[in-house]
Amino acid sequence: MLAGMAMRGYHHGDLRRALLGAAVEAIGESGPTALSLRDLARRAGVSHAAPAHHFGDKAGLLTALAVEGFDLLADALGRAGDDLLEIGVAYVRFAVDHQAHFEVMFRPELYRADDPQVVAARTRAGEALRGGLSALPARSAAEPDRDALAAWSIVHGFATLWLAGALPAGTGRDPEVVARSVIRRLFE
């Protein structure tokens, strides 16, 4: 089977990447529920056994996507430094730029949420988000978790409503600009 893949011009790691890319495309079109490994193989132009070889099953594929998503999110938040406003804007930008990952990441019933790689990537993203909390006025030193949860909620809610197309006309066209003014409400 691997020889067959190589004949199609894929190195091993490249095929895995191509399959993840095809999954992102498929999820963007019709969501993660409709995805099947067979469709994925067809999209990527590889043997129908190739996705199972790399990911085991659909949950394995979505686990790999969740790991990649939390890693990308952690990197994006990390690049924003320790300014909560910029971290929040980066969170929204990530959601807009990586809708398929974002959708999968926050539907943990679809994948193996206790997979060690998922846990590690998710923890890293959580720490990057918390990195900006020093920008918040100290409200209740006893409840730093609540500040983190409030910051997470406002950026997650904004991103989700934006992606759902739920916001009224006139909200603004650039999600980062609108997100910035919304997140500011949390610590003005």
Binding-site member from 7, 109, 114, 141 for a second copy (CB under 8 A): 109
CA-nearest of 115, 94, 116 to 163 is 94
Q: Closer to a second copy at the Cβ: 18 or 67?
A: 67
- Residues 14-33 contacting a second copy, CB under 8 A: 31, 33
Number of residues that bind a second copy (CB under 8 A): 40
Contact between 127 and a second copy by CB under 8 A: the answer reads: no
Which one of the spans 49-57, 78-86, 93-101, 179-187 is the region binding a second copy (CB under 8 A)? Answer: 179-187
Contact between 143 and a second copy by CB under 8 A: the answer reads: yes
Q: Closer to a second copy at the Cβ: 173 or 185?
A: 185
Contact between 158 and a second copy by CB under 8 A: the answer reads: yes
CB of 183 to a second copy, least distance (A): 8
CB of 178 to a second copy, least distance (A): 7
Contact between 34 and a second copy by CB under 8 A: the answer reads: yes
Q: What's the rounded Cα separation, in Å, for the pair 15 and 3?
A: 12
Three-state DSSP string of the chain: CHHHHHHCCCCHHHHHHHHHHHHHHHHHHHCCCCCCHHHHHHHHCCCCCHHHHHHCCHHHHHHHHHHHHHHHHHHHHHHCCCCHHHHHHHHHHHHHHCHHHHHHHCCHHHCCCCCHHHHHHHHHHHHHHHCCHHHCCCCCCCCHHHHHHHHHHHHHHHHHHHHCCCCCCCCCCCHHHHHHHHHHCCCC
Contact between 116 and a second copy by CB under 8 A: the answer reads: no
Residues that bind a second copy (CB under 8 A): 31, 33-34, 106-109, 113, 126, 139, 143, 145-147, 149-150, 152-161, 164-168, 170-171, 178, 181-183, 185-186, 188
